[in-house]
Amino acid sequence: MPVCYRHPGREAHIRCQRCDRPICPDCMRNASVGFQCPECVAEGRRTTRQVKRFTGARVGFRAAPVTYTLIAINVVVWALINLTGGYSSKLLELFALRRVGTCGLDLNRIDPTVGSAAECAQRYGGTAHWMAGAGDGAPWQLFTTMFTHVEVWHVGVNMFSLYILGMQLEPILGRARFLALYLISGLAGSALIFWAAGPQEFTVGASTALFGLMGAFAVFLLRARASLQPLLWTLVINFGITFAVPGISWQGHVGGFVGGVAVGTVIVYSGGRQRRRWQTAGIAAIGAIVVLAMVVRGVTLA
């Protein structure tokens, strides 16, 4: 069990981002990326120029490669969708999450009264086509939706948020745990959409996973006894927009947030000598529950 180098009697699951020594919540000091110990903070104040060079090296790709990779994937998918027709893109049709299939020219021009592919063909002939949903032939949409955007403002806001959150969380959690947190949060948001969204609605965006990152960050700050005020205002504003603005998927945001809180709790509060095993088992269990919820919903819609 790791213990704080300054307080040997206390468990320490966080390491100083500069010297890599384990530190307890009382010894954690906010840094530009993650946390540092009091000695490194004091040393940084004495050698300001060296700290600036060190910090600059730590905020690039090597500091958070998963974050940069996720941003790149989202941007590439957004570019491909817009290069192939935007809302009429076949790629968007494949990737956007719909609970069940629908009939239309594209995702913005549908006929919600049509209930089957045969009826769609009979009513519209070649002027419209049937677009499958996650519950009737396209289960991959539950995963791909978290990497899918159409509007430039949408991908821009989400990727900026991912950069800010990723640069804080990935160096602390490590690449594997950060990626697991992101993906499970996104899938948890998709699961609640699958259960609670309207049958003809379609959902896109990385915000399911981003709300999960915020949920996990809140758990981490509580465990570290750090101030929640900046993050709390961010959550209040984002949830306010979620429920106040029509067309935003509250199911995806709430589901992602709950998934992130669950994964963050497992990561932060798993202790003892078998800490990594407990973390792995706990994260796997949460992922299995999310997938099971999707499977059960798929069976009920079949």
pLDDT of residue 57: 40
The answer on pLDDT for 164 being more than 50 is yes
pLDDT(178) > 60: yes
Topology of the domain covering 65-99+134-301? Rhomboid-like fold (1.20.1540)
pLDDT at 203: 95
Mean pLDDT of the residues in the chain: 89
- Reply yes or no on whether the pLDDT at 146 is more than 90: yes
pLDDT computed for residue 172 by the predictor: 86
The mean pLDDT value for 97-112 works out to: 90
Query: How confident is the model at residue 70, as a pLDDT?
Result: 98
pLDDT greater at residue 115 or residue 86:
86
- CB burial string 93-130: b at 16+ within 10 A, e below: bebbbbbbbbbbebbeebbeebeebeebeeebeeebeb
Q: 129 has which bridge partners?
A: 104
Instruction: Tell me the pTM.
Output: 0.80
The mean pLDDT of 82-95, rounded to a whole number, is 94
pLDDT category at 33 given cuts 50, 70, 90 is low
Helix axes 175-196, 250-269, angle to 10 degrees: 140
Question: Cα(17)–Cα(21) distance, rounded to whole angstroms?
Answer: 8
Tokens representing 79 are 């570019």
Higher pLDDT, 19 or 284: 284
Average pLDDT over residues 117-136: 91
Write out pLDDT tens, residues 226-262: 888 889 999 999 999 999 999 899 999 999 999 999 9
- Ranges for all domains in the chain classified under CATH 1.20.1540.10: 65-99+134-301
Judge residue 272's burial from the number of C-beta atoms within 10 Å of its C-beta, 0-12 exposed, 13-18 middle, 19 or more buried: exposed
Average pLDDT rounded to a whole number, residues 162-177: 93
Mean pLDDT on 65-76 = 97
Contacts of 287 (CB under 8 A, 6+ apart): 180, 184, 187
